[in-house]
Amino acid sequence: MFNALRQGSSIFVMDKGNLTLKVGVVDSVTQPTGYNSMPWLQNMPGQTIDVSVKFDDGTSNEFKQMQPNAATAVYGNVIVTETRELMAQEVENMARQSKAVLDTVDYHQKVLKECDGMLAKLSPSFAKEKETDARLNALEQSISQLNGGIINITDMLSKMQGTASASKSTTKNQ
């Protein structure tokens, strides 16, 4: 529990947003404060502590209003634990959640594909819009291919003109 932390204790911090894990050393811990300021009531609900932590990379952080009788604290995407084992559980949970999401990718791709068909049945204007989009995409692709062909023809004509000019100048010189 965080109330057992002392200066020099190890603490583990994972940022789920940036996917980083840091091991820090407690620099300082405040005395419990809050609703119950009597020392014999330090583990009662409403009590909080602030913990300052220094990391190996030279950075430091202060975690405020931690519950003294908790072993894990969550600050948005940041998880703070007092033991390796608890942090390992958090990492395993995150991996399990990501795997579950990845396992449903095929299903969700199918849902997206089928929703278009369902919306087309429900809304003729949606169907017409999708049909128009498909035709526009086909036209854009055809125009792109035509442009490529025109560029090739222009290049060939330029080469032929260059060859013809070279032949004329050789004939004049002879």
| In a domain? residue 19 | yes
Residue 45: inside a domain: yes
| Boundary of a domain, candidates 23, 53, 83 | 83
Tell me, rounded to whole angstroms, the distance of Cα 46 from its chain centroid: 35
Q: Find the mean pLDDT for residues 107-113.
A: 91
Q: Is 173 a member of any domain?
A: no
Helix (H) or strand (E) holding 27: strand 20-29
Residue 90 lies inside a defined structural domain of this protein: no
Q: At what angle do helices 105-122 and 84-103 cross, to 10 degrees?
A: 40
Counting the structural domains of the chain, the total is 2
Whether 26 and 59 share a structural domain:
yes
Give 90-105 pLDDT, tens digit per residue.
999 999 999 999 999 9
For residues 162-174, give the mean pLDDT: 64
Considering the domain architecture, whether residues 56 and 115 belong to the same structural domain is answered as no
Cα separation, 13 vs 2, whole angstroms = 13
167 within a domain of the structure (yes/no)? no
Widest CA span in the chain: 115
Report d(CA 53, CA 70) in Å as an integer.
17
| CATH number, domain with residue 27 | 2.30.30
At residue 126, does pLDDT exceed 80?
A: no
Q: Is 171 among the domain residues?
A: no
* 57 and 116 fall within a common domain: no
Would the pLDDT of 121 be above 70? yes
pLDDT at 36: 53
pTM: 0.61
Specify if 22 maps to a domain: yes
Instruction: Identify the domain containing residue 24 by its residue range.
Output: 2-83
Statement to judge: residues 22 and 77 lie in one domain: yes
> Is 143 among the domain residues?
yes
- Looking at the chain, the whole-number percentage of residues with pLDDT higher than 70 is 87
Same domain, 71 and 139: no
**pLDDT recorded at residue 168:** 64
